[in-house]
Amino acid sequence: MKTISLSKTVAISLGALIVLLAVVFTLKAQTPALNLKGGSKLIYEIKSATGISDATVVVNTIVPTISFKWKITDALFGKVILSNESFNSGRKIATELFDDQTGEFGFFWISKGMITELLQGKTTFYLHGSEKMHGVVNAGIEKIEIKLNGVLKSVEVIHAKSIDANNTGVDFYVLNDLSNPLIIKIKNGTSSFSLKEISE
C-alpha cells in the first residue's frame, strides 16, 4: 500500500491552487470590459461653448470595424463607418459629431494602433479641422464608474494626458481594451464629452 507524506500532499494542493488561480486570472484578462455589439446603445453628455446636450450612439457593428448611428435631436443626426485602415492605424479623432463620408475619424473610439502605443507610454494624433499634431502620455490606469444596463459598473481606463506645456491640449480616458478602445471621456478646451450610460 502506497502512502503520501503530508508535505507532498500540501505541495500537490498548493500546485493545484496555483494552476486554478492562473486559469481564473487568464479568463478574467480575456473577458472584454464591455460587451458591445450590434444594437448596443451609448448615451454621451456633450458640452460645448453653446451648452450641454446628450448624444445617443447606436452601434451597428464592432467587427471587423466600427460603425454606428448618432443622434442629438430629430434634426441633428448622422452615421459613421470607420474604415478598416483607420480603425487599425488611424490618427484622426474628432470631438464634434458630423457625417464622416471618408471613414477617417475616430469619434468615440481611438485606433488599435493608438492604444497599443499608449500602453507603451505615449501616442500622437490629429484633431478634426486641425493640422497640429497632438501628443498624450499614459498617465496611469484608473477606474471610472458608468451605468451599464441600469447598474453602476466600474471599468478600467487609461488616462491619456496632454503633453502640451500650457495644458491646453486634449486629455481623454479610453477603455483599457485593445479590441474595443472606446473613449469614455475626452476634453478639448471648453468642449468635452463623457459616457453616461450603456445598454448592451
Going residue by residue through the chain, which has 200 residues, state the pLDDT in tens, using 9 for 90 and above.
545 554 544 444 444 444 333 433 333 433 447 889 999 999 999 988 889 999 999 999 988 888 999 999 888 998 888 999 999 999 998 877 888 878 888 889 999 999 999 999 999 999 887 788 889 999 999 999 999 999 999 999 999 999 876 656 789 999 999 989 999 999 888 888 999 999 98
Q: How much is the pLDDT for 89? A: 94
- All three cell numbers of 133, joined, read 499634431
Residues 2 and 52 in one domain: no
In this structure, what is the dihedral angle of CA atoms 70, 157, 36, 102, given to the nearest 10 degrees? 40
Asked, for residue 102, whether it belongs to a domain, the answer is yes
Residue 36 lies in a domain: no
Cite the beta strand spans of the chain per DSSP E.
41-48, 51-61, 67-73, 76-81, 92-93, 122-127, 133-148, 151-162, 170-175, 183-188, 191-199
Confidence at residue 181, expressed as pLDDT on a 0 to 100 scale? 94
pLDDT at 173: 96
Q: Which domain holds residue 16?
A: 1-31
Domains held by the chain: number: 2
CA 181: distance to chain centroid?
3
CA distances from 116 to 25, 138, 179 (A): 21, 11, 10
Q: Is there a single domain that holds both residue 26 and residue 114?
A: no
Q: Look at residue 24 in the predicted model and tell me its pLDDT.
A: 37
Q: Give the pLDDT of residue 169.
A: 77
Considering the domain architecture, whether residues 111 and 180 belong to the same structural domain is answered as yes
- What's the confidence (pLDDT) of residue 166? 65
